[in-house]
Copies of this chain bind each other. A is one copy, B any other.
Amino acid sequence: MTKLPHRSSEFQDIKHNHKICVAKALSRAKEVCHKNSVRFTDQRRRVLEIIWHSHKPILAYDILRKLRQEKDNAEPPTVYRALDFLLNNHLIHRIESLNAYIGCDYSGEQHISQFLICVACKQITEMEDEEVALLITQKALDNGLQAKHQTVEVMGLCPNCR
């Protein structure tokens, strides 16, 4: 699995071509859905687009507000159903410590990942560090837990905000 180029080295390169970044994510999502034989409907596409467009972790009700700008009968289940779908298909992640959602850089397959969150500007970088993941799995096992899933979220300051 190779990392998509869009959001990478975000902390260094805040000004990238964001339209291209969103477009690539959507096109990748379409492929993934086709491969998984699941429907990439307009709502699902639209929610994913809003998430990628924000380029930061976004709250479910902020997604709802954006949806309502173009579809005045949007309600919470509309958003949460799309989020569930996108999470299940590994197209987005939920950031537990923020109750927020963000586009997945390594989309389409389950994978380990770690999130680096700047507390000042809220930019996030997704790491996919196998060494970290393996060490955690090993240490968990040493303590009796057979690990199935890890949440690793690091809060701090990015170079631009220090």
A interface list, Cβ under 8 A from B: 9, 11-12, 96-97, 114, 116-119, 125, 127, 129, 131-132, 135-137, 139-140, 143-159, 162
A149–B135 alpha-carbon span in the complex (Å): 18
Which of A119, A132, A136, A145 counts the most B-chain CB atoms under 10 A from its CB?
A: A145
Tell me whether B114 and A144 are in contact (CB under 8 A): no
B contact residues around A136 at 8 Å (CB): 114, 132, 152, 154
A158–B11 alpha-carbon span in the complex (Å): 38
Tell me whether B156 and A143 are in contact (CB under 8 A): no
B contact residues around A11 at 8 Å (CB): 143-145
B contact residues around A145 at 8 Å (CB): 11, 116-118, 125, 154, 156-158
Q: Which residue of B lies closest to A152 (CB)?
A: B152
User: A58 to chain B: closest CB distance in Å?
Assistant: 17
User: A137 to chain B: closest CB distance in Å?
Assistant: 8
B contact residues around A129 at 8 Å (CB): 139
A136–B34 alpha-carbon span in the complex (Å): 36
Tell me whether A153 and B156 are in contact (CB under 8 A): no
Tell me whether A151 and B153 are in contact (CB under 8 A): yes
A46–B93 alpha-carbon span in the complex (Å): 37
User: A113 to chain B: closest CB distance in Å?
Assistant: 12
B contact residues around A152 at 8 Å (CB): 136, 150-152
A118–B154 alpha-carbon span in the complex (Å): 22
B contact residues around A157 at 8 Å (CB): 145-146, 148
